[in-house]
Amino acid sequence: MSTEKSQIFEWIKAFVFAILLAFIIRTYLFAPILVDGVSMMPTLHDRNRMIVNKLSYKIGEPKRFDVIVFNATVDKDYIKRIIGLPGDHVEYKNDKLYINGKAYDEPYLDKLKKDIIDPPLTQDFKLEDIIGKKTIPKGYLFVMGDNRRYSKDSRSIGVISMESVVGKANIVYWPLNEVRIEKYRQNN
């Protein structure tokens, strides 16, 4: 009888350890997220499932064009692309991104720009017209969805606090035919 109790106790310990490990991983390292909406198309599609790397910005700094998840409201997270970093001036002119006066290519928008029948994809704006300051304040980011016409982003909600960032979202794991690691490197 004691061997049977010992086995049951071992199973209970293993189960509790597995639950604790899963809790730690999900809370501090990685978490699944569901893309809800079309604001990041064509890069991400409605109902894509992704992994959020919560550790990425605890050990490193955010980079321009990273795709991130952040707490937009108490019960809603948004997925957007980092366009501007602290100290940057962001401007759009003639459907072209300018950061600190330098033009940047956005190849992830090429398909949308090509398919659009009534350009521009992104309306002209200057950072100061949105937030009332010439540069993004320290500790904040300027984010935009790739589907510029259908994205609630920094153009409407303002800059977002780094404290609200959950993590970097670059691994798509569902649906299976779209499994990939999203990477975008800026060459200019």
Which residues are identified as catalytic?
39, 80
User: Please, what's the b/e burial string for 63-78 (b: 16 or more CB within 10 A of its CB; e: otherwise)?
Assistant: ebbbbbbbebeeeebb
Strand partners, 91: 98, 126
Locate the DSSP E strands across 17-101: 30-34, 49-53, 67-73, 76-84, 90-93, 96-99
Rounded to an integer, what distance in angstroms lies between the CA atom of residue 67 and that of residue 59?
Answer: 17
Q: Among 63, 86, 62, which Cα is nearest to 140's?
A: 86
Tokens of 149: 């016409």
